[in-house]
Amino acid sequence: MSVIDVRNLGKTYRTIEKEGGVKGAIKALFRPQYREKVAVHDLNFQIDAGEIVGYIGVNGAGKSTTIKMLTGILYPTTGAVTVLGHDPQRERVANARNIGVVFGQRSQLWWDLALIESLNLVANIYEVEPSRYKQLLSHFSEVLELDEILKTPIRSMSLGQKMRAELAAAFIHEPKIVYLDEPTIGLDVMVKQRIREFIKDYNQTHNTTVMLTTHDLGDIEQLCSRVIIIDAGSKVYDGPLHAIKQQFGKYRTITFETNQPITNVQLPPACEQLSLSEYSLELKFDRSQLSASQVATALMQQIDVADFTLNEPDLESIIKHLYQNPTAYNEVAVNE
Ligand SMILES: Nc1ncnc2c1ncn2[C@@H]1O[C@H](COP(=O)(O)OP(=O)(O)OP(=O)(O)O)[C@@H](O)[C@H]1O
């Protein structure tokens, strides 16, 4: 059953264009010129209970705008959002009980309060049952290593400590859905790992739905089985993580090790040499035109192959390619 239902969702920002100087300011006051920016356009997706979905795209693609509409901070210009049966904007209180939110670049905790005081407050606001609160606090303290920072005010915490504190606060009322916007940004490898493990463990034990916005592909690879890619406000991919590699990884590489020094080789069409040393040859080929076995057969007729390795494209290079070449999304659609 879907817990998040997004239908034909769109958001257009309307801003007043101002010319410089006092004259410009007065003109904007009496005869405002509006500029419209379509941030999200005709978005459709459903997310089921317990899914961890990576929501990715370049800067300015429309990710934060979508999350703001899902959490009820912004109202949509077109279409509708339903979260566990509620309209997040009109039923903000009911919605708030069900959700937890972490914005990696902004703190939602009380700056001058010690973490434990902040957590007590949040638990009070959400009316968390005291014995349950005690249990959760002890569990979170262990997995997020909070003991050392419970008495520290948020303002004196390091980035990694702050993020662990934010997570504890966002999860303490046991929300059914959590929206995590860049939860690992700027953190060192160890803290990143701890946070990913916390999210994974919480998802598995509570069947919590997680929507994760991140530029860190490690987060995606370790946590998300499904990915939604948004580009210029529109959805361009929605599917399993592993299928991105199949759909968009147009090129593969193959490395041959030989028994004899490699001399002249004739490459099949749609195949290009990446590197050559005495006993090793690395090729790149377009898998929509050639299969790995066709490449291997062509080369084995020319060189004395001792071994060969076929390399799948890695996610990072595919996503980088997609981000740099938005038309690649259409190329795939045409090729299909
Ligand atoms: N309040 C606003 N008024 C006008 N335009 C806005 C406003 N907020 C965002 N935009 C524009 O809408 C588009 C989408 O912005 P959004 O912040 O949703 O992107 P994003 O994918 O979250 O980017 P990032 O990865 O940088 O956070 C951008 O072109 C942005 O400039």
With a cut of 60, say whether residue 122 has pLDDT above it.
Answer: yes
Beta-strand (E) ranges in 49-153? 52-56, 78-83, 99-103
Q: Is 72 exposed, middle or buried (0-12, 13-18, 19+ CB in 10 A)?
A: buried
CA of 227 from ligand 1 middle (Å) equals 20
Measured CA to CA, the distance from residue 116 to residue 119 in angstroms comes to 5
- Position 334 confidence tier, pLDDT thresholds 50, 70, 90: very low
Per-residue pLDDT, 333: 41
2-18+35-245 shares its CATH topology with 250-312: no
Cα(15) to ligand 1 centroid in Å equals 12
Domain extent listing, the chain = 2-18+35-245, 250-312
The complex's ipTM works out to 0.97
Phi-psi region of 258 (alpha: psi -120 to 50; beta: other; left: phi over 0): beta
What pLDDT sits at residue 200? Answer: 95
pLDDT tens string 37-57:
999 999 999 999 999 999 998
Q: List the residue whose alpha carbon is closest to atom 16 of ligand 1.
A: 62
Q: What local confidence, expressed as pLDDT, does residue 176 receive?
A: 96
Mutate to test the pocket of ligand 1, among 15, 36, 63, 67 (most ligand atoms within 8 A of CB): 63
Res 65: pLDDT: 95
The Cα-based distances of 50 to 95, 177, 182, 199, 211 in angstroms read 17, 9, 20, 12, 10
Query: What gap in Å lies between CA 89 and CA 75, rounded to an integer?
Result: 6
Whole-number Å distance, alpha carbon 84 to ligand 1 midpoint, is 26
| pLDDT > 80? residue 130 | yes
Q: Over the chain, what is the mean pLDDT?
A: 89
pLDDT of residue 157: 93
Distance 60 CA to ligand 1 centre (A): 5
CB of 280 within 8 A of CB of 321? no
In this prediction, residue 187 has a pLDDT band, given cuts at 50, 70 and 90, of confident
pLDDT at 319 over 50: yes
> Measuring from atom 18 of ligand 1, which residue has the nearest CA?
62
* CA 222 to ligand 1 centroid distance, Å: 27
Q: Which of 134-138, 172-176, 190-194 has the lowest mean pLDDT?
A: 190-194
Closest-CA residue to 132 (of 119, 141, 123)? 123
pLDDT in tens, 188-212: 898 899 999 999 999 999 999 999 9
Residues with CB under 6 A from ligand 1: 13, 15, 37, 39, 57, 59-65
Ligand 1 atom nearest 215 alpha carbon: 25
Residue 152 makes CB contacts below 8 A (sequence gap 6+) with 114, 115, 161
What is the distance between the alpha carbons of residues 335 and 322, in angstroms, rounded to a whole number? 15
Give distance in angstroms: CA of 7 to centre of ligand 1. Answer: 20
Confirm if 61 and 231 have CB atoms less than 8 A apart: yes
Letter for the amino acid at 180? L
Percent of the chain residues topping a pLDDT of 90: 63
pLDDT at 331 over 60: no
Instruction: Give yes or no for residue 256 having a pLDDT over 50.
Output: yes
Q: Which residue's CA is the closest to the ligand 1 atom numbered 17?
A: 64
pLDDT at 262 over 80: yes
35 forms bridges with which residues in the sheet?
15
pLDDT exceeds 70 at position 71: yes
Tracing tokens 């705008």 back to the chain, one arrives at: 65
pLDDT tens-digit readout, 161-170: 999 999 999 9
Q: Lowest mean pLDDT: which of 55-59, 112-116, 119-123, 149-153? A: 55-59
Half-sphere exposure of 312 (CA within 13 A, CB side): 10
Tell me which range, 236-245, 284-293, 300-309, is most confidently predicted by mean pLDDT.
300-309
Does the global pTM surpass 0.95? no
**Total residue length of the chain:** 336
The CATH number given to 2-18+35-245 is 3.40.50.300
CATH hierarchy code of domain 250-312: 3.30.70
Q: Which atom of ligand 1 is nearest to the CA of 230?
A: 21
Whether 335 has a pLDDT exceeding 60, the answer reads: no
Cα angle 193, 194, 200 (rounded to 5 degrees) comes to 90
What was the pLDDT predicted at 329? 62
Task: Please give the Cα distance from 154 to 84 (Å, whole number).
Answer: 32
Question: Which pLDDT score is estimated for 296?
Answer: 93
Q: How many angstroms separate the alpha carbon of residue 194 from the centre of ligand 1?
A: 30
